[in-house]
């Protein structure tokens, strides 16, 4: 039993960040900064539960999308022998990346047992294979070994995991919604890596007394009788699920003017962020938000709401300053331009 | 994104095209900050030559056998013969080999790739290639130099280099965003310009053999390289080839001045500059306000003649041909700056790198690998036994051809002689970072002479221990990584001779640069340990931000102390005999949790005791 997404109190920014990524995974993932026990992993699991099944190539270990042109090495081979791939439905999952993970387990490696028993080479898929078209949840991403993060973000950026090691040569799509969490007090993430997360939000424990009461009221109701609780929230869940599906469908129809593009550039220039990734991320996130709101055009409001999520972790700062130190500057930039 | 629709970065595009025309140019390195489109351009380039031309990407996870090819296990078992499966390098033959984040790649693997790629026709050192040489592949690599650069030697092996200028104006940024958000790119007609360009590249390739170059132009090339002061002859050869390729691209049959000047910056940029100079002019890093107003003329200064290695400069300021920004400043003859000679070196008693925190952690990991055979970065397999860390893949390959003969029924039969072990990337050992205060206060009473003597003594010690060394010098308003990590202690000592002193003391900036260097080192090699030796009197008077100087230093020091892979030593250069002593450096040592010495301590017998105590603690 999973706590319903719509019943989560507060944390609106985090919820928005997750939903935007679900509508358009090219937004590039979400980094959640904050303390423990603020409902980060609950929210991710809850959202996965709410989403419709995905259609995958039948029997494929990598959940290849039969519609896509990028397939794993075995599906490509399969397709060479037959006209179409078999299909089956799968529930979206939240795959967790444990902290002590090794390179082998992350990207996959030679299937040693198979090789010893049968003398045949076979690829033993890693976590990135499980994660394809699912959520990849990395708790405490700042505590991962640097070379593991490099590999992870490399694949995330490519949308593909290319393995060339230990006598195995294999590639499979690795398009996942990357959700990382970190507590900035426990160590920093290199700016280059922060930049690879599309969006970033801060979560804090809720200070408002009424909201706090509401949180544990709902939680205890859920713990007491989950079935009943889920029934009560079913309509809300249904509505959000339908909105997401509709938004995904209308995403490609959303339009925007040059004026909007100009505003985005003005914002990123004034915020002094490096590179072009922030510009592109804002546009993608704004488009997803417009689709979610059922608009045909991207509005300034879409930009304002998403620029926040896209820029806070990209503002320049010194290593000993907290990520988010530029928050006030960002506020004033957005207020001035939009 | 198609290549032709990629906005700006003209240098990078030309560098790619020149290499596609003449792969003998030796590859292109695309350097730039995050999010400037390096990978996007590289990927678009790999598609330029069209289908059928191999395009191979080397992932960061590649192992040596994957590059070079290895025994095909299945075939070997079936036939009982050593059948080799081709590696990435041979799969790329005749096409493009592409590496993202090349600076994060294991240096060992990178060397293999560069070796395969660069087989310069040695007999033709002085002449322009008359035909397109048979080549291995076109190498396209990208790197973000904020994450650590490549060594000068490795950089030199890339034919051309283009730096992505991240500072674009509003209009440009708008156009880039517009292109990137446009949905039109999916339309196949937008790739038509790419197909045209691909065709033109192939045409230029066929012309290349007939492009001529006059002796005059040849002399011009040699002169340009000489003037720029680049070491070795690779620059000349590359410039020749690149100019010829550009001539072919323009349909000109003779290499002219204009072709040479087009290719020149691509040839020079990575051969003449320090990595810190990678930031294109105008970028914020170069625009920090300068209190003396003299630094900024650096760019316009005519390059100096190259000084043969090993030769000492004749006078204190001036003729050094070294490339570091610090030294070129000294040529400006600022009155308040002085270059002090190196004081008499002494033999420091075995200076033991203290606290084995990281080592123990690593050995803890090693124990774990005994059971799981995993952890760390596996680069290649070797015959020599290492901690029971069996490389299963290599062992299987070794055993495979014998299976038939050994009479395998089901399970493979592995004999002791088949066993291969993993060699992990743990080669770096220690990196000793000298963080050297070159501010004006160091010039007082020629403290600098003595300090240089102390540093030289430590350098000699590093040489004996085969440590890598790096030097960060700070003065005026900046800290510069004047010597990126190198194994060449000789280089460091030469640099030390020429370091000028004068100006303010930006200690916080120095700590920040140190922090970045340590993080970069850890990113490349999780097992490397750093020892930062901060040599200062601690009298900081130049801040990085709006914070008070002391607070800023405390912040930086706290972050440094938190890093798991580094230890610190503070060497106090303050004159302890005077009544002006402030003992600020010892405060810094406390904040860094560092060992603390004065210059006198370092000479004395006392050091042995300290070192032994440290060793005792670590054990």
Structural tokens at position B290: 């300068």
Stronger pLDDT, B233 or B429, i.e. the higher one? B233
Q: What letters, b where the CB count within 10 A reaches 16 and e where it falls short, cover A225-255? A: eeeebbeebeeebeebbebbeebbebbeebe
Q: Which of B66, B104, B176 sits opposite A169 (nearest CB)?
A: B66
Model confidence band, residue B463 (pLDDT cutoffs 50, 70, 90): low
Given 1.10.3720.10, 1.10.8.80, 1.10.150.570, 3.40.50.11030, which CATH number is that of A252-337?
1.10.8.80
What is the rounded CA–CA span in Å between residue A225 and residue A272?
51
The closest alpha carbon to B540, from B510, B581, B576, B577, belongs to B510
Residue ranges of the domains in chain A?
25-203, 252-337
Least confident stretch, A185-194, B142-151, B362-371, B568-577: B362-371
What CATH architecture applies to the domain B341-353+428-618?
A: 3-Layer(aba) Sandwich (3.40)
Architecture of the domain made up of B3-54+92-170+180-277: 3-Layer(aba) Sandwich (3.40)
Neighbours of B326 (CB within 10 A): 23
- Segments of chain B assigned to CATH 3.40.50.410: 341-353+428-618
Given the residues A212, A243, A277, A304, the one annotated as active site: A277
The two structure tokens encoding residue B594: 């560092």
DSSP bridge partners of B162: B30
Most confident range (mean pLDDT) of A77-81, A284-288, B89-93, B611-615 is A284-288
Q: What is the complex's ipTM, to 2 decimals?
A: 0.79
Asked whether this chain's domains A25-203 and A252-337 adopt the same fold, the reply is no
Assign B39 to helix, strand or coil. helix
pLDDT at B315 over 50: no
The answer to whether A277 is a known catalytic residue is yes
Asked: is A25-203 a CATH 1.10.260.40 domain? The reply is no
A103 has a pLDDT exceeding 70: yes
Contact B393 A105 (CB under 8 A): no
The pLDDT mean for chain B works out to 72
pLDDT digits (tens, 9 = 90+) for A188-242: 677 778 888 999 998 888 888 999 899 989 999 999 999 999 999 999 999 999 9
Across the interface, which of B375, B397, B558 has its CB nearest the CB of A102?
B375
Q: Do the beta carbons of residue A285 and residue A20 sit within 8 Å?
A: yes
Give the pair of three-digit tokens for residue B588: 């810094």
Q: Which of A272, A283, A285, A279 is nearest to A315 (CA)?
A: A272
For residue A116, give the nearest of B34, B85, B412 by CB distance. Answer: B412
- Between B42 and B389, residue with greater pLDDT: B42
Q: Which amino acids of B are annotated catalytic?
A: 234
CB contact under 8 A, B410 and A105: no
Task: Report yes or no on whether pTM surpasses 0.80.
Answer: no
Residue B249 contacts A, CB cutoff 8 Å: no
Average confidence (pLDDT) over B353-358:
34
Closest chain B residue by Cα to residue A185:
B559
Q: What are phi and psi of B521, to 5 degrees?
A: -60, -40
Chain B residue whose CA is closest to A287: B181
């Amino acid at each position: 039993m999973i706590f319903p997404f719509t019943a989560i109190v507060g944390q609106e920014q985090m919820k928005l960040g997750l939903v935007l990524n679900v509508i358009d995974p090219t937004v590039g993932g979400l980094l959640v900064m904050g303390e423990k026990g603020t409902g980060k992993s609950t929210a991710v699991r809850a959202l996965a539960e709410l989403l419709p099944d995905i259609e995958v190539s039948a029997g494929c270990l990598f959940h290849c999308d039969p519609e896509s042109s990028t397939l794993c090495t075995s599906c490509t081979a399969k397709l060479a022998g037959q006209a179409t791939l078999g299909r089956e439905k799968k529930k979206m999952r939240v795959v967790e990346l444990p902290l002590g993970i090794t390179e082998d387990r992350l990207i996959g490696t030679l299937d040693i047992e198979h090789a010893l028993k049968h003398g045949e080479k076979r690829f033993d898929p890693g976590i990135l294979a499980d994660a394809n078209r699912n959520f990849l949840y990395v708790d405490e991403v700042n505590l991962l070994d640097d070379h593991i993060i490099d590999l992870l973000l490399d694949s995330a950026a490519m949308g593909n995991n290319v393995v060339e090691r230990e006598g195995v040569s294999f590639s499979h799509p690795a398009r996942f919604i990357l959700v990382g969490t970190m507590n900035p007090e426990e160590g920093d993430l290199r700016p280059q890596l922060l930049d690879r997360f599309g969006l970033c939000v801060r979560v804090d424990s809720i200070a408002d007394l009424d909201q706090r009461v509401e949180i544990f009221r709902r939680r205890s109701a859920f713990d007491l009788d989950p079935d009943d609780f889920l029934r009560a929230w079913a309509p809300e869940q249904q509505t959000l699920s339908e909105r997401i599906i509709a938004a995904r469908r209308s995403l490609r129809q959303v339009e925007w003017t040059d004026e909007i593009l100009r505003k985005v550039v003005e914002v990123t220039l004034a915020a002094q962020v490096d590179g072009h990734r922030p510009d592109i991320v804002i546009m993608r996130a704004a488009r997803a938000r417009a689709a979610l709101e059922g608009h045909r055009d991207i509005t300034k409001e879409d930009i304002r709401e998403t620029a926040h999520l896209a820029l806070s972790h990209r503002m320049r700062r010194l290593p000993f300053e907290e990520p988010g130190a530029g928050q006030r500057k960002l506020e004033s930039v957005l207020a001035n331009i939009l | 994104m198609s290549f032709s629709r990629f906005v700006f970065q003209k240098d990078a595009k030309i560098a790619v095209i020149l290499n596609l025309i003449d792969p003998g140019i030796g590859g292109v390195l695309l350097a730039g900050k995050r999010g400037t489109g390096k990978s996007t351009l590289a990927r678009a380039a790999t598609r330029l030559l069209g289908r059928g031309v191999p395009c191979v990407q080397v992932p960061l996870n590649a192992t040596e056998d994957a590059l070079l090819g290895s025994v095909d296990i299945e075939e070997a078992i079936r036939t009982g013969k050593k059948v080799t499966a081709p590696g990435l390098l041979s799969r790329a033959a005749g096409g493009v080999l592409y590496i993202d984040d090349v600076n994060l790649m294991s240096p060992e693997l990178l060397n293999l790739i560069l070796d395969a790629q660069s087989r310069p026709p040695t007999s033709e050192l002085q002449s322009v290639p008359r035909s397109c040489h048979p080549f291995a592949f076109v190498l396209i690599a990208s790197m973000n130099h904020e994450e650590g650069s490549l060594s000068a030697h490795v950089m030199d092996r890339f034919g051309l280099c283009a730096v992505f200028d991240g500072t674009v104006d509003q209009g440009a940024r708008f156009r880039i965003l517009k292109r990137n958000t446009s949905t039109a790119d999916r339309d196949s007609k937008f790739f038509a310009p790419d197909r045209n360009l691909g065709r033109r590249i192939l045409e230029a390739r066929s012309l290349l053999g007939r492009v001529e170059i006059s002796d005059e132009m040849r002399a011009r090339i040699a002169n340009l390289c000489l003037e720029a002061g680049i070491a070795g002859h690779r620059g000349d050869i590359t410039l020749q080839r690149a100019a010829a390729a550009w001539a072919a691209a323009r349909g000109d049959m003779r290499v002219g001045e204009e072709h040479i000047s087009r290719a020149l910056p691509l040839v020079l940029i990575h051969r003449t500059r320090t990595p810190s100079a990678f930031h294109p002019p105008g970028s914020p890093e170069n625009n920090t306000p300068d209190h003396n107003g003299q630094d900024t003329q650096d760019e316009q200064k005519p390059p100096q003649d190259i000084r043969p290695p090993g030769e000492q400069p004749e006078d204190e300021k001036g003729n050094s041909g070294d490339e570091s920004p610090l030294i070129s400043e000294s040529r400006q003859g600022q009155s308040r700056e002085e270059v002090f000679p190196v004081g008499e070196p002494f033999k420091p008693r075995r200076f033991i790198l203290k606290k084995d925190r990281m080592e123990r952690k690593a050995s803890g990991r090693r124990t774990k690998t005994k059971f799981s055979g995993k952890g760390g970065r596996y680069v290649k397999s070797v015959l020599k036994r290492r901690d029971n860390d069996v490389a299963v893949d290599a062992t299987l390959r070794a055993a495979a051809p014998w299976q038939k003969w050994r009479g395998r029924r089901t399970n493979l039969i592995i004999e002791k002689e088949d066993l291969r072990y993993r060699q992990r990337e743990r080669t770096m050992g220690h990196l000793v970072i000298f963080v050297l205060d070159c501010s004006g206060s160091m010039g007082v009473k020629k403290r600098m002479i003595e300090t240089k003597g102390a540093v030289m003594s430590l350098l000699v010690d590093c040489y004996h221990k085969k440590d890598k060394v790096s030097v960060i010098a700070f003065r005026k308003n900046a800290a510069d990584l004047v010597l990126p990590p190198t194994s060449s202690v000789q280089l460091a000592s030469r640099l030390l001779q020429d370091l000028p002193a004068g100006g303010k003391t930006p200690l916080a900036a120095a700590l920040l640069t140190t922090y970045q260097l340590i993080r970069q080192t850890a990113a490349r090699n999780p097992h490397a340990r750093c020892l930062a030796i901060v040599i200062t009197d601690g009298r900081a008077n130049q801040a990085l931000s709006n914070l008070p100087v002391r607070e800023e230093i405390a912040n930086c020091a706290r972050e440094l102390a938190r890093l798991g892979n580094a230890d610190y030593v503070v060497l106090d250069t303050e004159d302890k005999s005077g009544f002006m002593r402030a003992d600020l450096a010892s405060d810094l040592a406390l904040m860094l949790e560092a060992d603390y010495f004065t210059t006198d301590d370092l000479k004395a017998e006392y050091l042995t005791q300290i070192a032994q105590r440290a060793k005792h603690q670590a054990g």
